[in-house]
Amino acid sequence: MTKEKEERISKKFRLRVLPLVLIVIGISVTLISSIILWQQDPAASSRTIISRLMDRLYIPGASVGLIIAGIVMAFLFSSKETQKKSVKAGLTVLAAFLVFGGPTYMLYALQRVVVPYLFLALLGLASFVVGLSLFTRLMKGEK
Protein backbone atom coordinates (compact mmCIF):
# COMPACT_ATOMS: atom_id res chain seq x y z
CA MET A 1 0.00 0.00 0.00
CA THR A 2 1.10 3.50 -0.63
CA LYS A 3 1.63 5.91 2.20
CA GLU A 4 -1.27 8.15 1.08
CA LYS A 5 -3.71 5.26 1.09
CA GLU A 6 -2.57 4.20 4.57
CA GLU A 7 -3.03 7.74 5.88
CA ARG A 8 -6.50 7.95 4.33
CA ILE A 9 -7.56 4.65 5.91
CA SER A 10 -6.03 5.68 9.22
CA LYS A 11 -7.86 9.03 9.19
CA LYS A 12 -11.16 7.37 8.25
CA PHE A 13 -10.70 4.85 11.07
CA ARG A 14 -9.96 7.59 13.60
CA LEU A 15 -13.04 9.57 12.55
CA ARG A 16 -15.24 6.52 13.10
CA VAL A 17 -13.68 5.45 16.39
CA LEU A 18 -13.22 8.84 18.09
CA PRO A 19 -16.95 9.54 18.72
CA LEU A 20 -17.39 6.07 20.23
CA VAL A 21 -14.34 6.57 22.44
CA LEU A 22 -15.71 9.91 23.72
CA ILE A 23 -19.10 8.35 24.53
CA VAL A 24 -17.49 5.41 26.36
CA ILE A 25 -15.22 7.75 28.35
CA GLY A 26 -18.22 9.92 29.29
CA ILE A 27 -20.15 6.93 30.61
CA SER A 28 -17.03 5.60 32.34
CA VAL A 29 -16.51 8.88 34.22
CA THR A 30 -19.89 8.54 35.89
CA LEU A 31 -19.51 4.82 36.49
CA ILE A 32 -16.06 5.13 38.06
CA SER A 33 -17.15 8.11 40.19
CA SER A 34 -20.14 6.11 41.43
CA ILE A 35 -17.92 3.15 42.31
CA ILE A 36 -15.51 5.42 44.20
CA LEU A 37 -18.40 6.97 46.16
CA TRP A 38 -19.79 3.51 46.90
CA GLN A 39 -16.36 2.33 48.12
CA GLN A 40 -16.23 5.27 50.52
CA ASP A 41 -19.59 4.26 52.04
CA PRO A 42 -20.70 0.71 51.10
CA ALA A 43 -23.97 1.11 53.04
CA ALA A 44 -25.05 4.09 50.91
CA SER A 45 -28.17 3.69 48.82
CA SER A 46 -28.33 4.41 45.09
CA ARG A 47 -30.20 7.62 45.82
CA THR A 48 -27.46 8.79 48.20
CA ILE A 49 -24.73 8.04 45.67
CA ILE A 50 -26.59 9.93 42.92
CA SER A 51 -27.16 12.93 45.20
CA ARG A 52 -23.45 12.95 46.09
CA LEU A 53 -22.59 12.88 42.38
CA MET A 54 -24.90 15.83 41.79
CA ASP A 55 -23.27 17.76 44.63
CA ARG A 56 -20.07 17.71 42.59
CA LEU A 57 -21.35 19.27 39.38
CA TYR A 58 -18.08 18.80 37.51
CA ILE A 59 -18.59 15.01 37.40
CA PRO A 60 -21.97 14.94 35.60
CA GLY A 61 -20.91 18.00 33.61
CA ALA A 62 -17.80 16.27 32.29
CA SER A 63 -19.72 13.08 31.60
CA VAL A 64 -22.55 14.79 29.73
CA GLY A 65 -20.09 17.01 27.85
CA LEU A 66 -18.06 14.04 26.61
CA ILE A 67 -21.16 12.09 25.61
CA ILE A 68 -22.68 15.04 23.74
CA ALA A 69 -19.35 15.73 22.01
CA GLY A 70 -19.21 12.10 20.88
CA ILE A 71 -22.78 12.16 19.61
CA VAL A 72 -22.24 15.45 17.75
CA MET A 73 -19.03 14.14 16.17
CA ALA A 74 -20.75 10.92 15.12
CA PHE A 75 -23.56 12.99 13.61
CA LEU A 76 -21.23 15.33 11.73
CA PHE A 77 -19.04 12.52 10.35
CA SER A 78 -22.00 10.47 9.10
CA SER A 79 -23.52 10.55 5.62
CA LYS A 80 -26.27 12.99 4.65
CA GLU A 81 -28.87 10.20 4.57
CA THR A 82 -27.92 9.07 8.07
CA GLN A 83 -28.05 12.67 9.28
CA LYS A 84 -31.59 13.07 7.94
CA LYS A 85 -32.70 9.84 9.62
CA SER A 86 -31.05 10.91 12.88
CA VAL A 87 -32.79 14.29 12.87
CA LYS A 88 -36.13 12.59 12.21
CA ALA A 89 -35.54 10.14 15.07
CA GLY A 90 -34.56 12.99 17.40
CA LEU A 91 -37.68 14.96 16.48
CA THR A 92 -39.81 11.86 17.10
CA VAL A 93 -38.32 11.49 20.59
CA LEU A 94 -38.90 15.21 21.22
CA ALA A 95 -42.53 14.86 20.08
CA ALA A 96 -43.03 11.88 22.40
CA PHE A 97 -41.56 13.84 25.32
CA LEU A 98 -43.79 16.82 24.59
CA VAL A 99 -46.90 14.62 24.44
CA PHE A 100 -46.18 12.47 27.50
CA GLY A 101 -43.54 14.28 29.55
CA GLY A 102 -44.61 17.87 28.94
CA PRO A 103 -47.96 17.78 30.70
CA THR A 104 -46.53 15.78 33.64
CA TYR A 105 -42.83 16.01 34.45
CA MET A 106 -42.26 19.48 33.06
CA LEU A 107 -45.16 20.75 35.16
CA TYR A 108 -43.83 19.04 38.29
CA ALA A 109 -40.56 20.90 37.83
CA LEU A 110 -42.35 24.22 37.22
CA GLN A 111 -44.52 23.80 40.34
CA ARG A 112 -41.42 24.35 42.47
CA VAL A 113 -41.18 27.81 40.94
CA VAL A 114 -44.30 29.50 42.21
CA VAL A 115 -46.32 29.80 39.00
CA PRO A 116 -50.10 30.21 38.85
CA TYR A 117 -52.00 27.00 38.20
CA LEU A 118 -53.77 28.41 35.13
CA PHE A 119 -50.41 29.11 33.48
CA LEU A 120 -49.24 25.56 34.29
CA ALA A 121 -52.40 24.07 32.78
CA LEU A 122 -52.05 26.16 29.63
CA LEU A 123 -48.38 25.26 29.33
CA GLY A 124 -49.19 21.55 29.68
CA LEU A 125 -51.92 21.81 27.04
CA ALA A 126 -49.60 23.73 24.70
CA SER A 127 -46.89 21.10 25.16
CA PHE A 128 -49.37 18.34 24.33
CA VAL A 129 -50.67 20.12 21.22
CA VAL A 130 -47.17 20.97 19.92
CA GLY A 131 -46.05 17.37 20.49
CA LEU A 132 -49.04 15.94 18.66
CA SER A 133 -48.69 18.33 15.73
CA LEU A 134 -44.96 17.56 15.44
CA PHE A 135 -45.67 13.84 15.58
CA THR A 136 -48.40 14.02 12.92
CA ARG A 137 -46.16 16.13 10.67
CA LEU A 138 -43.35 13.58 10.98
CA MET A 139 -45.72 10.70 10.19
CA LYS A 140 -47.27 12.60 7.29
CA GLY A 141 -43.89 13.12 5.67
CA GLU A 142 -43.21 9.39 5.88
CA LYS A 143 -46.01 8.45 3.45
Residue 116 buriedness (CB in 10 A; 0-12 / 13-18 / 19+): exposed
Number of separate domains in the chain: 2
Tell whether 63 and 93 lie within a shared domain.
no
Tell whether 2 and 47 lie within a shared domain.
yes
Tell whether 71 and 91 lie within a shared domain.
no
What residue numbers bound the domain in which 83 lies?
A: 79-143
Q: At 114, is the secondary structure helix, strand, or coil?
A: coil
DSSP, res 113: S
Tell whether 53 and 9 lie within a shared domain.
yes
Q: How many residues does the chain have?
A: 143
Q: What is the pLDDT of residue 10?
A: 67
Tell whether 65 and 128 lie within a shared domain.
no
54-78 tens-digit pLDDT: 777 777 888 888 888 888 887 777 7
Q: What is the pLDDT of residue 7?
A: 62
Tell whether 54 and 38 lie within a shared domain.
yes
Asked if residue 97 lies in contact with residue 140, where contact means CB atoms within 8 angstroms, the answer is: no
- Domain end point (choices 60, 77, 94): 77
13-37 tens-digit pLDDT: 666 777 777 788 888 888 888 888 8
Tell whether 20 and 64 lie within a shared domain.
yes
86-134 tens-digit pLDDT: 888 888 888 888 888 777 777 777 777 777 778 888 888 888 888 888 8
Cβ neighbors of 8 (< 8 A, separation 6 or more) are none
